[in-house]
């Protein structure tokens, strides 16, 4: 199963990789993390429904952890995944995979912030 990890540098400059907590990694299919440069939230895909992958967001709690999952509201019977934030942090793009192919969708990041 895919799970989410965080990489930081230690005092020597080497990367230290740690698995994100069980509140995010449920043991299902958590993948495709996307974090804006300021780290205020984490968008990821999860197969927690065991029917398809959907997009969720967790907000930084200010103590080094994350708050509860919030659906981005783009759920469908198909898979949504592959979130990417534009360099100016104004838009989030993602993919919806269907039996007939992939479609790229976008949303304003302000809409994500409103879910806080």
CA 87 and chain centroid, separation: 16
The pLDDT assigned to 12 comes to 97
Q: Regarding beta strands 30-34 and 54-59, do their DSSP bridges make them parallel or antiparallel, or are they unpaired?
A: unpaired
The pLDDT assigned to 64 comes to 86
Mean pLDDT value across the chain:
92
Q: Which phi and psi angles does 113 have, rounded to 5°?
A: -60, -35
């Amino acid at each position: 199963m895919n799970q989410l990890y965080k990489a930081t540098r230690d005092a020597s400059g080497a990367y230290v990789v740690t698995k994100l907590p069980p509140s995010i990694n449920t043991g299902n299919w958590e993948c495709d993390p996307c974090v804006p440069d300021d780290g205020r939230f984490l968008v990821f895909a999860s197969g927690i429904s065991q029917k398809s992958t959907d997009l969720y967001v967790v907000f930084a709690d200010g103590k080094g952890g994350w708050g509860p999952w919030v659906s981005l509201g783009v759920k469908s019977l198909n898979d949504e995944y592959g979130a990417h934030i534009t360099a100016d942090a104004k838009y989030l793009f993602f993919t919806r995979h269907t039996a007939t192919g992939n479609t790229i969708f976008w949303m304003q990041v302000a809409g994500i912030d409103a879910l806080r």
